[in-house]
Amino acid sequence: MTGDSSETGKNLGWRSHRHWIFAFAALLTTSTTVLANAGTPLMWAGMLHLVFGNFLIGVGEGLVLAWVFRLRKIAAMALMIAANYASAWFGLSWLQSQFTQSLDLELYNAWRWVWIIVGVSYLITLVLEWPFVALCFLKERAWLRRSLVGCLLVQTISYVFLFGWYWGASGKSLYTQGVIVPLSEFALPNGVAVYYIGEDDGNVHEFDFGTRHTQQVFHLGSTNTEDRLVVLPSQLDGGPYGVSARLETDNSDEPTLREVLGGLREEQIAFDEEWDRKTEGTWFNFGRVLPVGGMTNSIWEAYTGYWPVEGVTVENNQSKADFHLAFETPFAAWYIRNAAQLPSGQVVFQLGEDQVCILEPESRKVARLAFGRGPVVVLLRPSDVAPPSTDGMSNTSAVSASSN
């Protein structure tokens, strides 16, 4: 009777613990949605994994080792809990702070690198957690072979779970729903120019859509990623508006403004009629995407969000259908800022800190125009803005800009 009672007690105890484990797993699953307003799902997925998820995964891995290799449950669970916290806090933090930071991630290679990093992180996990698995087999026969097999087994199971966990919380629609193409395959309208701060030199450059040529138009020397170009009332002759550089200072409420281009009219630029004389930096320049010239012939409207996972949302005014493009993963994330919409419906925007890109809503094509930040779109001659063409051979004169 004693043996039966003991076994019954163990079963009841396991059932009780199992209920708590399932309840906690359900909490982890739902928390990313419930708490999304206080951050992104990926932020919460990472925090819950690092703080609580490692405990549950360690318990699960320890139980699998104990069941498959007939090891002591308590010892196996304790060691695997320690293994998961060690690999998560030390291994993956190194992966994010050292390995990924050394990569030159950009629009055309980031998705490939994400998959490479997924594989690398799996291998790192195997290496970091194997010593803990080996301790589970201490004084066991054929401990080396069995520990290697056991490590491969439990890490594969848990990694599949973690992959699904982070996949569901990540923003990957830029690559899964967007169509990334080289600029040579992109149709650009004539009579349009994008002015931006160059990534390499911090000076103001002009990219002419008609000729597809880039030239420096103003020596600025910007070094702060918050710096951007803005449309403001002009202090120069020739027109009521101009393009100014908004340069960050120690007091973000009092930036330095330097006009770099004047002589513009309202039909040439995107200007916020509700401007309250406070010009935010790049970080806070999101929301409804203003149309260049105050009107658009397009059926599309666009909005950019604060978090990287919010990206850009584009809605069809006729069908009310919309789509969303964003990029936020555990290894890399890009916010979308400084966006403007052309009369043709195309959207020019800043991707991350140093890429100026263009989106075609109809085809969902995305291409990079230049490496830089803080773009402003100008219609060079509004009456000459032509439908998109792919040859890039039309001749369009640029708006003259002063250069220091």
Residue pLDDT, tens place only, 187-206: 899 999 999 999 999 999 99
**Is it the case that residue 26 has pLDDT exceeding 80?**
no
User: How many domains, in total, are found in the chain?
Assistant: 2
* Co-location of 190 and 259 in the same domain: yes
The answer to whether the beta carbons of residues 256 and 232 sit under 8 Å apart is no
Please check whether residues 154 and 233 belong to one and the same domain. no
* Residue 271, C-beta contacts closer than 8 angstroms, at least 6 positions apart: 231, 241, 290, 294
pTM over 0.85: no
Do residues 7 and 41 share a domain?
A: yes
Does some domain include residue 229? Answer: yes
Shared domain check, 385 and 320: yes
The verdict on 224 and 342 lying in the same domain is yes
> Any idea what DSSP says for residue 391?
S
Question: 40 by DSSP, 3-state: which?
Answer: coil
Q: What is the mean pLDDT of residues 267-284?
A: 79
- In this structure, of 2-16, 177-191, 275-289, 335-349, the range with the lowest mean pLDDT score is 2-16
**Pairing of β 355-360 and β 365-379:** antiparallel
> Of 137, 170, 203, which closes a domain?
170
Q: Dihedrals φ, ψ of 144, to 5°? A: -65, -50
Worst-scoring range by mean pLDDT, 223-237, 244-258, 327-341, 372-386?
A: 372-386
31 lies in some domain: yes
Contacts of 173 (CB under 8 A, 6+ apart): 311, 323, 324, 325, 326, 327
- In one-letter notation, the amino acid at residue 182 is P
My answer on whether 116 and 91 are in the same domain is yes
Percent of the chain with pLDDT over 70: 81
Q: Is residue 401 part of a domain?
A: no
Query: Of 170, 185, 201, which residue constitutes the final position of a domain?
Result: 170
Domain holding 55, by residue range, is: 2-170
- Asked whether residue 398 is domain-assigned, the answer is no
End residue of a domain, out of 170, 195, 210: 170
Under 8 Å between Cβ of 62 and 96: no
Element (H, E) at 164: helix 143-169
Q: How far is CA 154 from the centre of its chain?
A: 31
Angle between helices 110-136 and 143-169 (to 10 degrees): 140
